Structure 1
Amino acid sequence: MMKGQSILLASAAVFVAVPAHAQQGADAPDAKNDIIVTAVARGQNRLDSSVSVSSLNAETIAAAAPRSVAEIFRNLPGIRSESSGGEGNANIAVRGLPVASGGAKFLQLQEDGLPILEYGDIAFGNADIFLRSDFNVQRVEAVRGGSASTFASNSPGGVINLISKTGDKDGGAIQGTAGLDYGEYRLDADYGGKLSDSLKYHIGGFYRVGEGPRRAGYDGNKGGQIRGNITKTFDGGFVRLNFKYLDDRAIAYLPSPVRVTGSNGNPTYTSLPSLSANNDTIHSVYFTQAVTLNGSNVREVDDIRDGMHPIVKAIGFETRFDVADGWTINDKFRYSDISGRFISPFPATVDNAQTLANAIGGAGAILSYANGPHAGQVIANPAALNGNGQAIGVVLFNTRLNSLNDITNDLRLSRKFDSGMGTFDASVGFYKSRQTIDTDWTWSSYLLEAKGDNAALLNVRTAGGALRTDNGLVAYGASYFGNCCRRSYDVDYDTNAPFASLSFNRGALTIDASIRYDSGKVRGFIVGDGPVTSFDVDGNGTISYPETQTTVIPLNSPQPINYNFHYTSYSFGANYRFASDLSAFARYSRGGRANADRFLFNPNTISATSGRLQPGARPVDFVRQAEAGVKYSHQRLALYGTAFWAKTAEQNFEATSQKFFDRKYRAYGLELEGSYHIGGFDLSASGTWTKAKIVSDTISPAVVGNRPRRQAEFVYRITPQYSARFFTIGASAIGTTSSYAQDTDQLKLPAFTQINAFVIVRPIDRIQLSVNANNLFNVTGFTEAEEPAIPANGIVRARSINGRTVSASIKFDL
């Protein structure tokens, strides 16, 4: 039997024997009464819809105790969420669509139906960095493919929408959580209800502080969020005001050195002595400040402990009301003042400590500790350093997000028409957004010992004693990357999108079609990469050796950005309801995604003089998708199966490798989910089998026919749970088969399964005690690796999921 067929049969076995309720969360599996509101013209019953949609309710999310929103998304079928970067900076994709650079390019993350950011893959500003889940969330809905192409801009792969509580129920809760084997303390609270018969509200948030799930040596996670809304209802509609304030610091975990033995096709990954791949990080209490030149070439001192530091001040409204002749108007508006920082050490090179020292100071270079408990001490035997003999050439990703301000408005007008043939449901709308991307890249280079739990910086002297570093600083620029990446750019993306949909229902049959036309203007400037020069950074009148390796931003040479884009998306499908508990659907869609700031980094895409598009540059990438599926929901049992096919064209740029991509992909597969409920017992599972390959590549044709990097053939989730009067106990297994680290299909990332478990006790009314273990068996699960093959020294830079973390909570219902 062929390998693909084996996986397909295994998927079917999981689907039949262990059905999942990802589609229902912890609720009983009754899709007949479920109404979906994400990426559709108006609220629609699931069994009548011709889209693939899943939801997770608040109880399901809380029981899993995810450490980030990316870990929530792993519970959604068809979603590939690489949740190894901390509380943001995750790579997220849908149904085999590629992750050529990072972030969530073809997927949009939303709160209450409007995007967090217009583009999910802004360099060092991925949308999930600005998103937190707390007690405000009522449920999470995910639409994969289908109508996501026409009911949202720049989201042909799908939409994940966090839907807020609105005070429909009086009351709230307060919960305190503490890490039992890691440093974190968190307080969550919310409250809502009716102020009068026509006025209701909800408000909530969290605050937390702690080292985080890995040993960083300082409080890597610190901050919180408050969100709220107030709703006024009236005859025929409502108006709702909402706000959000987020100010949070979350440590950003980047790849770490690991040793790989065996072969590329059958590798064994092991942690280096003194540096655990899933419990340690190269962040350190001895590496917390960075002296650099800012976006104006002025000296500044930055705090590495800022990590991912999103600051969001958002205000908006939503209204729906009936107008003449049966028409209904729905409008959503949000203004988000967004800024912050992304700063984290990236291992640009890892090698024997003496080899790296010689590269900086010449043959016979002398290594010493720059700081820490052994500051000033010469390292007499670098080969024995920390039991691994390695050192890390660090490029500090130091990026200031001056402004990611986003203003969006989604206006819709809809009406149902009854005719002799059946019922027509028509909708027209207009979407408007303006996304600013104003960012400074002020990177620098350091030398660090390969050690977890507070590594020290290293100094290098020549054999003659001349100092070549400054307290571990090698260069005021990304010297390990060829002195690239000191940049400044300020660009506005203005998008207008009229759209329309029409559906027809007659008895058991529903047919729908929708179309969207996006047009936009991109205006602004980009400056960089700058030249390497001597610069008295510290202003002491003396030029040190690292100061002779200073990269500056050429402020007098800005390059204009001045181009337009436009594209049409469409989707049409049909659903037939064979019975009250059984339906089948089919759909075909084409959706576009306008390229954002990563598109600007390649000189072959934008003219340096006019800012116009160069010949062959594509400002928009397209995804074509077909899907067909069956939905069944009856009393205790729900089953869902969808076959899918997608073809994607993409141009992209990766900051770490400085590579430009221009290729096409194809993916097809099978998505399965379901649930079974009897008494207090729930059993759920989901599995997605995907066959993906690169079908063309204009820059690297050698990769044609290969499986795209980090694309596993099968990902799955299995969750049993049992609830009684005084307790609930459950677990989940989330796993993936192997994948390739890079598009050359050489080095494999091994398969892994992560087990989470929880127990909840309710000793008296309104009080709940719980203990949750995330990654109970402390497995290492690698989601990415920088090297395409095992190098000569056997050291690969890879990123693993976090190790075991156990937390305890006490919750009081109010």
Structure 2
Amino acid sequence: MTFRVSSILLAGAATVALSTPAFAEENGEGKRITAWEASRTHNDDTMIVTGVAKARDRLDSATSTSSMTDNEIAKISPRSLSDLFRNIPGIRSEASAGEANNNYTIRGLPLVSTGAKYLQFQEDGLPVLEFGDILGLGSDVFLRPDFNVAQIESIRGGSASTFASNAPGAVVNLISQTGEVEGGSIQASAGLNYDNYRTDFDYGGHLSDTVRFHVGGFYREGNGPRHVGYTADRGGQVKFNITKEFNGGYVRLYGKVLDDRGAQYTGMPIAVTGTDSNPKYESLPNFSVTHDSVLSRNISAFPVLDPNNNLSEFDVHNGGHARAKSLGLETRFSVGEWSITERMRYSDQSGDISFLYPLAAIPAVAVPAAFGAPGGSLVYAGGPLKGQTITNPLTLNGNGLVLFSSAISTPIISLNNFTNDLRTSRVWNVGGGDFTGTAGVYLAHQDTKFSRALVDVLQDVNGNGNSALIDIIDANGNPVTQNGAVDFVGPAPALHSAWNMEYRVLAPYGSFNFHKGKVSVGASVRVDTGKVNGNIRTNSPGDVTTIDVNNDSVITNAERSFAFVPLANNMPVNYRYHYVSYSGSVNYRASQNFSTFARYSRGARAAADRILFTPAVNPVDGSLVQKSAAYDPVKQAEVGLKYRANGLFLNLTGFWAKVRETNTQLKPGANGVTVLQLVNRSYRAYGAEFEGGVRHGPFSLTAGATLTNAKITAADDPALVGNTPRHQAGLIFQVMPQYETELFTIGADVIGTTRSYAQDENKLRMPGYATVNAFVQIRPMERVELSLNASNLFNVTALTDVMSSSMPASGVTIAQALYGRTISSSVRFFF
């Protein structure tokens, strides 16, 4: 059955229009709070519900926690989920890939590859994906922030190890609106200096004294925040829930339909001069690293062989296309003195991820010889100049460069998952104190069924969505490439692959907390058992065939290199793993306003696809050869203090972590071309995390900072031992001042980092930066709000990744950067 988000949005809007509101929760005057009133309130969130056995006051919890309300999210107006997560203390969010597939880590834990290995992203207490670092398929692919979000909670370290599987570093939970307030809103937004149009809506309330509901969603279209020359962003989602309250509990049914696609931004060519320790990065002529992309209106479809070895094609214009249909149930009730909580959800998740990934920037004049055609020439293979010879490669587009890129297709057959978390808690009076015991069991089933195919291409370096493919013609006038394709294999063998895997997790867990007077002592344990089975296939270097793609009876070198994956290459995967996580803590509430805590934890992250196709797995029977590769243990210690009084709060945490990791990493090979490499390493990190805020009249200020000292303590390459992990800055920070009256709110969100190393070799530096996101909200009349938001107001070049490990002799490298300045406006009506 095919779902169209636009149709669902219309149906949702009709439901909102036909619903007769009852009443919402009461305010201090006995009236139920409306959505407009809720948008004008400041929630001082003293409670935490994520990563703990029961909701409790933050000052009584020996954890490092943060929350962000829907009102704060609306002010920030993030361009993506990763932009939003940059505001969470401790989290390093490399928000440069677009809507999805960004990279995240926490408190100095290594970001060896891509995704979010040590963090788990949740919706309403359950994971979006069991593993957040599936290569090219991160959890944020299926997660979109909109008006459905009431609050985002994060818990870092500590009990995250034992109250969630595969999340030893942190849990970030998007908690949905559930109809507590009456009414809703609709908002229309548009980019002022970029092409983006979006409509958000939500509505909720009580159908009776015991039944409430909420429905919301969004739809958007546009080119996106970078110049690509076509409609790259299109789609939306609808979420709903209905809650029945009864004496001692509630039951809630909820669902989501997501059908959305957005551009996948990768590396871009950038000029670099100076020295390794003091480099200077600048945009190339006719190509802005802050506003352009290697994506183009002129580059779209490519032929490949699918996993069944049939000729097909994919379109990089599809970008990251996510489709999800989820249905969940949540309930809480009492049986005698016991409180029972049950959460379960099934998610049908599929789609495809297609993009261009630059591997190297080559002087155009050297391209023919570099690809076996000395004395040859270059011809445009597409775009408005198709068929024309490039007569002066030295001055091509003012920069004289050609990109050697891979067009990559990852059709997602199934990332379906089923998760169930059942827990029970009880409080006893023991020795004049409260003893809270909790026991639970977590079950999960995660599919990872997808394939990957690559086509190596040549394209010119031209901004504003004008890049075009380039062909090579040898000295005898014969074509070497095929419509811009150098080959249909990829930059290295064994890259065309197919995964047909299932992961099952069983994790019983338990905890206790004893609270008497000013002291709370707690401990928790979790036992994770995983079963991994399925099969994988990949091509060998000789698995290529010849196809006359354009049926012109002329076989180019490229047409002789179609990679295929023989069915005989099928390899089984069949192994189990088992590990124990534990955490112990003590919390001392010295006064009503002040508490201190200490915690020690051991958790782990089970391996997923990253160890497949490596020597860690026996290709004959699928068993583990390298037993230690089954999971990566993480040990952590924390000490902290918390203060809260009279509009002021302060959280300060010192942390220490030790990690052993097996992973794969994209790195430049011996010839300068980026390849995927297996790494085995250990790391140590320590530092301090600060979060604070103050509110005085119309003025408020919130801030966060994380100081980190991290080192590689063991590595397969001994030369790396003692080095700082790549991209790990000594300081990341966030500052958000704002001034708010009944008529308007004005403020800024400043987020930055100090410099770091581009790669683990600790040679070439990436500069520090600070981006300023400014916002203004004006309320000219009741229930109407006008907003203006500028992201990266000063158009700072903020690099998140540089592929070179040292200063390139060519003066050009491949890098990723945050968006440049984007300005949007919106009007929001409350009802």
| Alignment TM-score > 0.5, same fold | yes
* Aligned twin of 1:364: 375
Q: Distance in 2 between matches of 1:302 and 1:562?
A: 32
* Aligned twin of 2:633: 622
Contact 1:28–1:636 (CA under 8 A) maintained in structure 2: no
Superposed, which structure 2 residues align to 1:563-712 within 5 Å? 563-602=575-614, 604-615=615-626, 617-654=628-665, 657-697=675-715, 699-712=716-729
Instruction: Label 1:26 to 1:145 Cα distance change in 2 as closer, same or farther (>3 A).
Output: farther
Contact 2:213–2:240 (CA under 8 A) maintained in structure 1: yes
Contact 1:563–1:613 (CA under 8 A) maintained in structure 2: yes
* Aligned twin of 1:328: 339
* Aligned twin of 1:491: 501
Structure 1 residue 163 displacement after superposition? 0.3
Q: 2:733 aligns with which of 713, 716, 731?
A: 716
**1:344 correspondence with 2:352:** no
Aligned AA (2:777) = I
Q: Distance in 1 between matches of 2:44 and 2:69?
A: 14
Contact 1:151–1:499 (CA under 8 A) maintained in structure 2: yes
Q: Distance in 2 between matches of 1:532 and 1:214?
A: 38
Aligned AA (1:574) = V
Structure 1 residue 348 displacement after superposition? 1.2
Q: Distance in 2 between matches of 1:271 and 1:397?
A: 25
* Aligned twin of 1:19: none
Q: Distance in 1 between matches of 2:627 and 2:718?
A: 17
1:180-214 Cα shifts (integer Å, max 9, x gaps): 00000000000000001111000000000000000
Aligned AA (1:674) = G
Superposed, which structure 2 residues align to 1:454-473 within 5 Å? 454-473=466-485
- Counterpart secondary structure, 2:263: coil
Aligned AA (1:290) = F
Q: Which moved more, 1:279-288 or 1:652-661?
A: 652-661
Q: Distance in 1 between matches of 2:51 and 2:509?
A: 12
- Counterpart secondary structure, 1:607: coil
* Aligned twin of 2:436: 425
Structure 1 residue 368 displacement after superposition? 0.8
Instruction: Label 1:456 to 1:311 Cα distance change in 2 as closer, same or farther (>3 A).
Output: same
Superposed, which structure 2 residues align to 1:290-305 within 5 Å? 290-305=302-317
Q: Which moved more, 1:626-635 or 1:616-625?
A: 616-625
Structure 1 residue 529 displacement after superposition? 2.9
- Counterpart secondary structure, 1:196: coil
Structure 1 residue 537 displacement after superposition? 5.8
Structure 1 residue 260 displacement after superposition? 0.4
1:570-616 Cα shifts (integer Å, max 9, x gaps): 001011111111000110000011010011131x1001101111145
Q: Distance in 2 between matches of 1:467 and 1:483?
A: 24
Q: How many residues align?
A: 783
- Counterpart secondary structure, 2:823: strand
Aligned AA (2:189) = T
Superposed, which structure 2 residues align to 1:233-244 within 5 Å? 233-244=245-256
* Aligned twin of 1:784: 801
* Aligned twin of 2:69: 57
Q: 1:802 aligns with which of 819, 823, 828?
A: 819
Q: 1:758 aligns with which of 775, 800, 808?
A: 775
1:696-747 Cα shifts (integer Å, max 9, x gaps): 11x1111000000000000011111001111110011111000001100011
* Aligned twin of 2:21: none
* Aligned twin of 2:108: 96
* Aligned twin of 1:150: 162
Q: Distance in 2 between matches of 1:39 and 1:230?
A: 24
Contact 1:598–1:654 (CA under 8 A) maintained in structure 2: no
Q: Distance in 2 between matches of 1:125 and 1:26?
A: 38
- Counterpart secondary structure, 2:675: coil
Contact 2:187–2:201 (CA under 8 A) maintained in structure 1: yes
Contact 2:360–2:813 (CA under 8 A) maintained in structure 1: no
Superposed, which structure 2 residues align to 1:304-323 within 5 Å? 304-323=316-335
Contact 2:642–2:650 (CA under 8 A) maintained in structure 1: yes
* Aligned twin of 2:527: 517
* Aligned twin of 2:788: 771
Contact 2:543–2:566 (CA under 8 A) maintained in structure 1: no
Question: Gaps (5+ residues) in structure 2?
Answer: 1-38, 667-673
Q: Distance in 2 between matches of 1:68 and 1:419?
A: 48
* Aligned twin of 1:76: 88
* Aligned twin of 1:730: 747
- Counterpart secondary structure, 1:654: strand
Q: Distance in 1 between matches of 2:692 and 2:528?
A: 36
Superposed, which structure 2 residues align to 1:154-173 within 5 Å? 154-173=166-185
Contact 2:611–2:629 (CA under 8 A) maintained in structure 1: no
Q: Distance in 2 between matches of 1:679 and 1:195?
A: 37
1:372-426 Cα shifts (integer Å, max 9, x gaps): 1211111111011001100001111211111101100000011000122411000
* Aligned twin of 1:746: 763
Structure 1 residue 299 displacement after superposition? 1.1
Superposed, which structure 2 residues align to 1:242-253 within 5 Å? 242-253=254-265
**1:501 correspondence with 2:511:** yes
Structure 1 residue 546 displacement after superposition? 1.2
Q: Distance in 2 between matches of 1:381 and 1:197?
A: 76
Instruction: Label 1:767 to 1:537 Cα distance change in 2 as closer, same or farther (>3 A).
Output: farther
Structure 1 residue 149 displacement after superposition? 0.2
* Aligned twin of 2:55: 43
Q: Distance in 2 between matches of 1:372 and 1:798?
A: 25
**1:190 correspondence with 2:202:** yes
Q: Distance in 2 between matches of 1:234 and 1:787?
A: 61
* Aligned twin of 1:407: 418
Question: Gaps (5+ residues) in structure 1?
Answer: 1-24
Structure 1 residue 27 displacement after superposition? 7.1
* Aligned twin of 1:395: 406
1:156-188 Cα shifts (integer Å, max 9, x gaps): 001000000000011100000000000000000
Q: Distance in 2 between matches of 1:544 and 1:461?
A: 10
Structure 1 residue 124 displacement after superposition? 1.3
Q: Which moved more, 1:592-601 or 1:143-152?
A: 592-601
* Aligned twin of 2:137: 125
Structure 1 residue 461 displacement after superposition? 0.6
Q: Distance in 2 between matches of 1:52 and 1:201?
A: 32
Contact 1:415–1:427 (CA under 8 A) maintained in structure 2: yes
Q: 1:443 aligns with which of 443, 454, 467?
A: 454
Superposition CA RMSD, Å = 1.3
**1:272 correspondence with 2:290:** no
1:128-148 Cα shifts (integer Å, max 9, x gaps): 111100000001000000000
Aligned AA (1:792) = A
Contact 1:29–1:675 (CA under 8 A) maintained in structure 2: no
TM-score (norm 1): 0.95
TM-score (norm 2): 0.93
Q: Distance in 2 between matches of 1:385 and 1:654?
A: 33
Aligned AA (2:299) = F
Contact 1:110–1:159 (CA under 8 A) maintained in structure 2: yes
Q: Distance in 1 between matches of 2:314 and 2:492?
A: 23
Q: Distance in 2 between matches of 1:50 and 1:270?
A: 46
Aligned AA (2:819) = N
Q: Distance in 1 between matches of 2:732 and 2:569?
A: 48
Contact 1:693–1:706 (CA under 8 A) maintained in structure 2: yes
Q: 2:274 aligns with which of 245, 248, 262?
A: 262
1:441-474 Cα shifts (integer Å, max 9, x gaps): 1111111001112101101110111101111111
* Aligned twin of 2:26: none
* Aligned twin of 1:560: 572
Aligned AA (2:174) = L
Structure 1 residue 117 displacement after superposition? 0.2
* Aligned twin of 1:10: none
